[in-house]
Structure 1
Amino acid sequence: MKIIPVIDLKDSVVVHARQGNRELYQPINTGLCKSSDIFQVIDAFLGIYEFDTFYIADLNAITGQGGHNPLIADVLTRFPHITFWIDQGCQPYAQRAHGNTLPVLGSESYRDESIAEIKAYKNNFILSLDYANSKALGAPSLFADPSFWPENIIIMTLERVGSNRGPDLNKLTEFCRKNPDKNFIAAGGIRHKQDLMALSEAGIHQALVASALHSGIIKAEDINILGKVSAPSSRPNPRDVVNPNIA
């Protein structure tokens, strides 16, 4: 099981995501990190464990209220040996300026008339299938037509983010059962090591985590133990999906 720390960026600071209510998100101030500065938050996560992958949600870009391209570029430059999954909503394909990044395309930002743009990525991205209150968000075709799916897919349950409700194990298990050739990634509600072990038993081998790291409930020793529960070798690590032609 691989844990990927989550960073939610809003108005240039890291915020605490809660149940998808983005207008209410407040700057991070936790036992792990009192500062909402992204560099200090990353350093705090790295103080727990030597994570090699992070997920950044650019909430301004996702909601069509600007974005954080210069700040994210600084992050990519300062941490060249870490791979950053960057979610900026509907992203027209463009050659990436940094080799240590991989785009996340979230279903909530697409409509059926715009999803053809996804084909330009040639599967060199991570798809996020977004849900809120059991409702699929965005283009229905992204949920119904697996031909749009890359190898690695986040199942994002927004109402469980920061809720301490646990992951949507039933939904994740069903995705694994119906699509055994895909690598599904859990997002939303993960509380502790036991949740992660349950996900691993269901066939999930990667998870996006924020609150349980900030609270200290998931500790370095837990991550070391969970790291020994590895994904099947036939499933590629999303780090390896990065286009080798990108410099």
Structure 2
Amino acid sequence: MELILAVDLAGGLVVHGRSGDRAGYHPLTWGLAPSAEPEAYVSALRPRYLYIADLESIQGQTPQDDLVRRCAALVERCYLDRGVRSPADCTAVTGVTPVVGTETAARAFEDLAAYRAGYLSIDVKGGRVLPWGIRPEEVLRRASGLSFEGCIILNIGAVGTERGLVREDLEGMRACYPGRLLYGGGVAGTDDIHLLADAGFDGAIVATAVHHGTVPLEWVRRGHPC
């Protein structure tokens, strides 16, 4: 199972996200972070895999594409959510795996059929998928008929909280989708990593738990649990 370090970018800096309250995100200067300057941050932590959320672009502001490219060059694989709003947006940054988030990519589920690459991020808040208000299991069942390389369950409401995961929820979602499936949001430590692996997930996106030491940095550097 892949372990992927999450990096939220805003204002040219790495910021710490919590519960999707983007207005309250502040530069990440604690824990293992030697600097909130993205290249210095990624160079110091040395993850094998990286997940970047360009919060500026997601919120309809100027994308930080040059900064993303420089960070992506430092890792083996980089997943990028830049708030795509059309299939053309998926090719704006080369050398990354595009992430198509339900929050921005489509007014209706049927619009997702136009996308032919990358991962579908099922953006969840309060147990419901943004912006449609349906259960993530329903989206997962329908996503198997689309052309994505895989799906990500991104629990935006749990980001940065380390609230932990529930086995039954994970197993229920995993049963709905036959392809590659990643999870991010609320991962509290190694027990949750093992829980995701046991439930059959193919990867976990982590950040806060790494800085608190409940997920070893060495695991993130190797790109998988040890």
- Contact 2:3-2:225 within 8 A present in 1 as well: no
Counterpart AA for 2:169: K
- Corresponding residue for residue 177 of structure 1: 175
Q: C-alpha separation between the residues in 2 aligned to 1:157 and 1:97? A: 26
* Residues 67 and 209 of structure 1: CA distance in aligned 2, closer, same or farther (over 3 Å): same
Q: Which residue of 2 aligns with 1:57?
A: 53
Structure 2: which 5+ residue stretches go unaligned? none
Distance 1:156 1:169, change over 3 A: farther
**Gapped runs of 5+ residues in structure 1?**
230-247
How far apart, in 1, do the equivalents of 2:150 and 2:124 lie? 17
- Give the structure-1-normalised TM-score: 0.78
In the comparison of the two structures, how many residue pairs are matched? 220
* Higher Rg: 1
Return the offset for 1:221. 5.4
Aligned 8 A contact 1:112 1:140 in 2: no
Give me the whole-angstrom Cα distance separating, in 2, the residues matched to 1:105 and 1:206: 17
Amino acid in structure 1 at the alignment position of 2:159: V
Offset, 1:171: 3.1
Matched, 1:219 2:213: no
- Which TM-score applies when normalising by structure 2? 0.85
Percent identity of the aligned residues? 27
Q: How big is the shift at 1:68?
A: 0.5
1: distance between equivalents of 2:69 and 2:222? 33
**Distance (whole Å) between structure 2 residues aligned to residue 198 and residue 185 of structure 1:** 13
Structure 2: distance between partners of 1:226 and 1:84: 12
Structure 2 match to 1:93 = 87
User: Which residues in structure 2 correspond to 1:93-172 (within 5 Å)?
Assistant: 93-94=87-88, 96=91, 99-112=94-107, 116=111, 118-122=112-116, 124-139=117-132, 143=139, 145-146=142-143, 147-148=145-146, 150-172=148-170
Superposition deviation, residue 149 in structure 1? 5.7
Which position in structure 1 is the counterpart of 2:183? 186
Moved over 6 A (4+): none
Residue 7 of structure 1 contacts residue 14 of structure 1 at CA under 8 Å; is this kept in 2?
A: yes
Superimposed CA distance per residue, residues 41-60 of structure 1 (whole angstroms, 9 cap, x where no aligned partner) = 101221xxxx3321000001
